[in-house]
């Protein structure tokens, strides 16, 4: 009974939320320190010195930069990527005009920022109501605050901005930085390794079940600025953490670049659940503006019986290029990827996953739901690779595409490579349209066309939504409803 009531409330939230357009599209008028556009070794030295970084980290950055200069933009994706002028972007912008080091306490955060996050619905106060979620907020290039740090510290969990982690726990950062996504991994990962400015760091000690959801909220505010954040999560033996990330940006006519790297490490029996609701500004109806989202996310199931689960709901960005992956190194380890990617208007998405089976009895599950509306292009790209020694590896992949309207397209590119005869790989794929019959059926029962579409889409995504934590599931549904606007008529 209670569950039913929750569902009603949830619907109300979804409805209220859905009435708004891209409500995150406002600009915060705040004094900031932004370095001039341009990228060379001096830029990198400047970023590093702003952050008082140790020499080894500057060397890491410079090495990555030199690699990057030798690399080319990847062109294999089903995306039309306009040439990006990397010299026209500013690589560092901080809202702390006077004090360049992020404030140590939430009390010191500029009230304008608190207001910004209030408007976005992100709690910077440690209010009772939201006591279940600790948040690190990244505004342009810096983390402006992390909640519940003290409480988490009691159980040994480290949750801080990346910059702070570099100062306070250099040994951990040094050990794991680049251990899952090497600096030279790909063009955008190399760029990130060279210029990353902030992000979140999470360390869960052995045997600890993180007592609350951890979350990072990324916000791009400054004009002509790219955001290059880095997230590193390490879960020691027998630990558990659930981590959420959300992202928004103002509506601007220019495109903005977001190139992030996320690395996860799970030791023996550790479980990491990583959920994303990506709502970067998608551009307007004509395809002007929007974020270019080039992200490398990868988890290393290092230990036996470890598990990494990626859940993503992608509705934003003009271009999405993103393949959260799992390296299943430990025996009996498992990886999961649950994804809803919705594209509308002129948005393009090429997203999917890689499941690399190295250990014995490793298992992976891939559920991908692509929804294309308007003139958008939506591609699933996945790789399942089973190494020679990965006896009895199993994979199940299901990718479903839903088309709404006549001018959009869905594409599926599943790749499998198996070097072991004992592997069991299953793949299912469907493409469907919201049928006239389904719509008519709903209409005949009294449901309006708009509600009918959202009902049908919601049903289509159910398998993924149920993987999201409650608050995020509500937000995700609301986002889909907003993104579906103009899907009919």
Partner 1 sequence: MLKIENVFANAGDKEILKGLSLEVKPGEVHAIMGPNGAGKSTLGNLLAGMPYVQPQGGSVQYMGKDLLSLEPEERAAIGVFLAFQYPVEIPGVNNMYFLRTALNAQRKYRGEDAMDSAQFLRMVKQKIKDMNMRDDLLKRPVNVGFSGGEKKRNEVFQMGVLEPKLAILDETDSGLDIDALKIVADGVNQLRSADRSFIIITHYQRLLDYIEPDFVHVLADGKIVKSGDKNLALELEEQGYGWLNN
Of these, 36, 155, 435, 470, which contacts partner 1 (CB under 8 A)?
435
Compute the radius of gyration of the chain from its Cα atoms: 22
Using CB under 8 A as the binding rule, whether residue 406 contacts partner 1 is answered as: no
Toward partner 1, which CB reaches closer, 346 or 369?
Answer: 369
Of these, 21, 88, 455, 470, which contacts partner 1 (CB under 8 A)?
455
The interface mask with partner 1, positions 7-26, x = CB under 8 A, is xx------------------
17, with CB counted inside 10 A (0-12, 13-18, 19+), is middle
Toward partner 1, which CB reaches closer, 9 or 285?
Answer: 9
Which range, of 53-61, 172-180, 184-192, 451-459, touches partner 1 by CB under 8 A?
451-459
Pair 436, 444: CB distance under 8 Å: no
The DSSP bridge partners found for residue 425 are 395
Of these, 35, 57, 58, 447, which contacts partner 1 (CB under 8 A)?
447
Phi, psi of 304 (to 5 degrees): -65, 145
- Going by their DSSP bridges, the two strands 255-266 and 229-235 should be labelled as parallel
Which range, of 53-61, 312-320, 345-353, 454-462, touches partner 1 by CB under 8 A?
454-462
Which range, of 86-94, 119-127, 289-297, 461-469, touches partner 1 by CB under 8 A?
461-469
Of these, 112, 443, 470, 486, which contacts partner 1 (CB under 8 A)?
443
Of these, 98, 150, 436, 489, which contacts partner 1 (CB under 8 A)?
436
468, with CB counted inside 10 A (0-12, 13-18, 19+), is buried
Nearest residue to 163 (alpha-carbon basis) of 188, 138, 185? 138
Using CB under 8 A as the binding rule, whether residue 1 contacts partner 1 is answered as: yes
Q: What is d(CA 455, CA 234) in angstroms, rounded to the nearest whole number?
A: 38
How distant, in Å, are the alpha carbons of 274, 282, 318 from that of 291? 22, 6, 5
Toward partner 1, which CB reaches closer, 151 or 458?
Answer: 458
Toward partner 1, which CB reaches closer, 129 or 445?
Answer: 445
Q: What is d(CA 168, CA 391) in angstroms, rounded to the nearest whole number?
A: 41
Of these, 89, 416, 451, 488, which contacts partner 1 (CB under 8 A)?
451
Using CB under 8 A as the binding rule, whether residue 429 contacts partner 1 is answered as: no
Using CB under 8 A as the binding rule, whether residue 85 contacts partner 1 is answered as: no
Pair 354, 385: CB distance under 8 Å: yes
Using CB under 8 A as the binding rule, whether residue 461 contacts partner 1 is answered as: yes
Pair 317, 346: CB distance under 8 Å: no
Q: What is d(CA 137, CA 117) in angstroms, rounded to the nearest whole number?
A: 9
Of residues 358-397, those binding partner 1 (CB under 8 A): none
Q: What is d(CA 335, CA 319) in angstroms, rounded to the nearest whole number?
A: 26
Toward partner 1, which CB reaches closer, 69 or 448?
Answer: 448
Toward partner 1, which CB reaches closer, 7 or 419?
Answer: 7
Toward partner 1, which CB reaches closer, 1 or 421?
Answer: 1
Shortest Å distance, C-beta 331 to partner 1: 35
Using CB under 8 A as the binding rule, whether residue 445 contacts partner 1 is answered as: yes
| DSSP states along 309-326 | EEEEEE---SEEEE--EE
Toward partner 1, which CB reaches closer, 253 or 437?
Answer: 437
Pair 403, 432: CB distance under 8 Å: yes
Shortest Å distance, C-beta 408 to partner 1: 20
Toward partner 1, which CB reaches closer, 8 or 98?
Answer: 8
Pair 146, 158: CB distance under 8 Å: no
The residues that touch partner 1, with contacts defined as CB under 8 A, are 1, 4-5, 7-8, 435-438, 440-449, 451, 455-456, 458-463
């Amino acid at each position: 009974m209670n569950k039913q009531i929750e569902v009603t409330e949830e619907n109300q939230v979804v409805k209220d939320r859905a009435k708004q357009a891209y409500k995150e599209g406002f600009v915060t008028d705040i004094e900031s320190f932004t370095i001039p556009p341009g990228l060379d070794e001096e830029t990198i030295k400047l970023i590093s010195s702003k952050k008082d970084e140790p020499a080894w980290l500057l060397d890491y950055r410079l090495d990555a930069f030199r690699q990057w200069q030798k690399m080319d933009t990847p062109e294999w994706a089903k995306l039309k990527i306009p040439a990006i002028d990397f010299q026209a972007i500013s690589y560092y912008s901080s809202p702390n005009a006077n004090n360049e080091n992020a404030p140590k306490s939430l009390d010191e955060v500029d009230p304008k920022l608190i207001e910004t996050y209030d408007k976005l619905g992100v709690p910077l106060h440690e209010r009772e109501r939201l006591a279940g979620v600790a948040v690190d907020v990244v505004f342009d290039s810096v983390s402006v605050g992390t909640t519940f740090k003290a409480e988490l510290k009691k159980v040994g969990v480290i949750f801080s901005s990346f910059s702070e982690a570099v100062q306070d726990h250099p040994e951990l950062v040094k050990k794991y930085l680049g251990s899952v996504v090497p600096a030279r991994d790909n063009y955008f990962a190399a760029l990130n390794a060279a210029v990353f400015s902030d992000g979140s760091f999470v360390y869960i000690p052995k045997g600890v079940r993180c007592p609350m959801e951890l979350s990072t909220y990324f916000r791009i505010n400054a004009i002509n600025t790219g955001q290059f954040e880095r997230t590193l999560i390490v879960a020691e033996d027998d630990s558990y953490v659930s981590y959420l990330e959300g992202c928004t940006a103002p509506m601007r006519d220019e495109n903005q670049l977001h190139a992030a790297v996320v690395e996860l490490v799970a030791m023996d029996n550790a479980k990491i659940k990583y959920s994303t609701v990506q709502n970067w500004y998608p551009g307007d109806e004509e395809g002007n503006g929007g974020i270019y989202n080039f992200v490398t996310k990868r988890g290393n199931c290092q230990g036996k019986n470890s598990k990494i689960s990626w859940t993503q709901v992608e509705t934003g960005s003009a271009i999405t290029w993103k393949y959260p992956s799992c390296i299943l190194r430990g025996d009996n380890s498992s990886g999961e990827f649950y994804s809803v990617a919705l594209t509308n208007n002129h948005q393009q998405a090429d997203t999917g996953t890689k499941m690399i089976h190295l250990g014995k009895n490793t298992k992976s599950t891939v559920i991908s739901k692509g929804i294309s509306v308007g003139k958008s292009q939506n591609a699933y790209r996945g790789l399942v690779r089973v190494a020679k020694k990965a006896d009895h590896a199993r994979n199940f992949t299901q990718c479903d595409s839903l088309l709404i309207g006549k001018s959009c397209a869905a594409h599926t590119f599943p790749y499998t490579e198996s070097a072991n005869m004992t592997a069991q790989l299953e793949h299912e794929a469907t493409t469907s349209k919201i049928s006239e019959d389904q719509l008519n059926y709903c209409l005949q029962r009294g449901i309006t066309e708009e509600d009918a579409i959202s009902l049908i889409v919601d049903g289509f995504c159910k398998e993924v939504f149920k993987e999201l934590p409650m608050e995020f599931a509500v937000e995700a549904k609301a986002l889909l409803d907003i993104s579906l606007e103009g899907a009919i008529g």
